[in-house]
Amino acid sequence: MFDYYRLLLGPVAARNVLLENAYLLFDDDLQFPTQNYVPMGHVHCIFGMPVMLDSGELLDSFVAAAKAQVQSSVAAPVAEAVSTAMPSLRTLGKIALGGAQMVLAQGAVNPFQSCSNPQLSCHNTTVVENLCCFNAPGGQLLQTQFWDTHPVTGPVDSWTLHGLWPDRCDGTYDANCDSSRSYSNISAILKSFGADDTLSFMQTYWKDYKGQDESFWYHEWAKHGTCISTLEPECYTEHKPTEEVVDYFNRAVSLFKTLPSYEWLAAAGITPSSSQTYTFQAIQDALAAKRPGVEVTLGCKSGELNEIWYHYDVRGSLQTGEFVPANPDGTKSTCPKTGIKYLPKGGSQPPATSTTVGGPAPTSTSAPGAPFSGRGFLNVEIGGAKKGCIISKGTWYTTGTCATFTATELDDGFTLKSSKGNCGIVGGALTCDASVSSGTGFTAVDGSLAAGGNAVWSADKAASGSTQVPVYAGGDHAQQFALTWQSA
């Protein structure tokens, strides 16, 4: 019986060890064949880096994870145990690091998995198995931009980068999908992989309006980046911890550089002004001239243009795939049809009256997210009249007690939760239960609940008596209605 057994972790570069493979050694009472095991003294390699036997909790936690997996498959042939029962590097890393937020790996980004004949996301008719070559469920990627005037953020003649977001092809989205990879040291990660040019660009064009750039980048990666399937660690041939972070920010920056919103709008005569206003269609047409056949999502706050979302479907992975311009996936613009203000950065607020290019005076919009906060009820309204409410599973009911929901604020909306669990849009239907791992990010439009910017909800029929009726996002079903908030 050997004092140590070696669990094959995989090939590593010869510069790390003089052997062909790296091994994790641990005491155990299991027996393995003696061939192909070479004593390595007191030096072990984890992820291709030398680690001493007495390196403490990190090695101990790797050992515990590996032993549990191998013991559970002791009856299987050794080769099969190594190939099928051995915990993945990602699993071991999560256990050993305990969800650590400060992780760093040196060197260049490793090759990404090769994808032959990749499909276009959001256009598949059958299930795609390899999600390293196909973005799902977040199949539509949104490159989002800010125009912040109070306080002024970024260059006065450029929009700034907001993020790169995966949507579920229907306007809904997942968020914060992997807490173990919610890395907070974004600048250090980029520097460690030699992405200094990307970081330098971000320091000018990917700005937080409060000046907290590092926290902003962390938020965008943790909330959106961790939900992109092609950035999963197993998609890399020899994954180094955090290298997917570099790919996320590199792609977001390179995509932003192809979308000079300020220049495109100016070419159509749409420039920041304290007096002139613009129509929704004029802004859409100016941007469509550079991206024929597709529209963008325009975001306004109090009638002021402050966001543009460019939508893409992707043929292949985020890292190496083709970004194909697409129409919005269900997300709705929040700007009025006329009277849109496009204020200059650093300029004064517009006067009380102003002229509008292409239409009459501006219309008002409600504050994003209001009034959904704290605990409350979701009422069903048809023609302004209450017709029952939503119960804890997310269905429409007209008798009995309404469920209490908790609204938790996000930076660009809120999530909802009932006693059954998180609420999300699953298969197009409002669903609240324990299977919804990360709730949908909802917003409010004119005081009504909205999914993907759309405040219309529908059902196959109106609820009555003790019948519970499924509720669907959008107006595709026979009975349409609104969902409004009543504070508990």
The pLDDT assigned to 215 comes to 95
The least confident of 60-69, 225-234, 345-354, 446-455 is: 60-69
Q: Active site residue: 44, 219, 220, 239, which one?
A: 220
Say how far apart CA 349 and CA 360 lie, in whole Å: 19
The pLDDT assigned to 439 comes to 67
Q: Active site residue: 162, 219, 239, 311, which one?
A: 162
Q: Do 145 and 256 contact (CB within 8 A), yes or no?
A: yes
Q: What is the pLDDT of residues 391-423, one digit of tens each?
A: 999 999 998 789 999 999 886 788 999 999 999
Q: Please name the helix (run of DSSP H) or strand (run of DSSP E) that holds residue 161, with its range, or none.
A: strand 160-167
Give the number of residues written for the chain.
488
Render the burial of 81-92: b for 16+ CB within 10 Å, e for the rest.
bbeeebbebbbb
Task: Of 275, 288, 284, give the one whose Cα is nearest residue 342.
Answer: 275
The least confident of 75-84, 280-289, 409-418, 446-455 is: 75-84
Q: Active site residue: 44, 219, 224, 311, which one?
A: 224
Per-residue pLDDT band at 267 (split at 50, 70, 90)? very high
Q: Who has greater pLDDT, 427 or 18?
A: 427
Say how far apart CA 110 and CA 20 lie, in whole Å: 19
Say how far apart CA 326 and CA 294 lie, in whole Å: 6
Kindly state the average pLDDT of the residues 381-390.
Answer: 92
Active site residue 162: yes
One CATH from 3.30.70.2190, 3.40.50.300, 3.90.730.10, 3.40.50.150 for 140-356: 3.90.730.10
Q: Who has greater pLDDT, 325 or 111?
A: 325
Q: Do 2 and 32 contact (CB within 8 A), yes or no?
A: yes
Q: What is the pLDDT of residues 366-378, one digit of tens each?
A: 334 457 889 999 9
For residue 169, the tally of other CB atoms under 10 A from its CB is 21
Q: Please name the helix (run of DSSP H) or strand (run of DSSP E) that holds residue 196, with its range, or none.
A: helix 196-205
Dihedral angle sign, alpha carbons of residues 92, 96, 98, 103: negative
Residue 152 to residues 156, 209, 346, Cα–Cα distance (Å): 8, 7, 6
**Is 336 a residue whose pLDDT tops 90?**
yes
The pLDDT assigned to 370 comes to 55
Long-range contact set of residues 119-124: C-beta below 8 Å, sequence gap at least 24: 119/315, 120/313, 120/314, 120/315, 120/324, 121/169, 121/313, 121/314, 121/315, 122/169, 122/313, 122/326, 122/329, 123/313
Say how far apart CA 332 and CA 309 lie, in whole Å: 10
The pLDDT assigned to 425 comes to 86
Chain position carrying tokens 């059954």: 420
The pLDDT assigned to 23 comes to 33
Dihedral angle sign, alpha carbons of residues 26, 32, 34, 36: negative
Kindly state the average pLDDT of the residues 14-36.
Answer: 33
Q: What is the pTM of this model?
A: 0.56
Phi-psi domain of 446 (left: phi exceeds 0; alpha: psi -120 through 50; beta: other): left
For the chain, which residues make up each domain, given as ranges?
5-97, 140-356, 374-487
462 exposure class (CB count in 10 Å sphere: 0-12, 13-18, 19+) = middle
Kindly state the average pLDDT of the residues 254-268.
Answer: 98
**Is 97 a residue whose pLDDT tops 90?**
no
Q: Please name the helix (run of DSSP H) or strand (run of DSSP E) that holds residue 145, with its range, or none.
A: strand 140-146
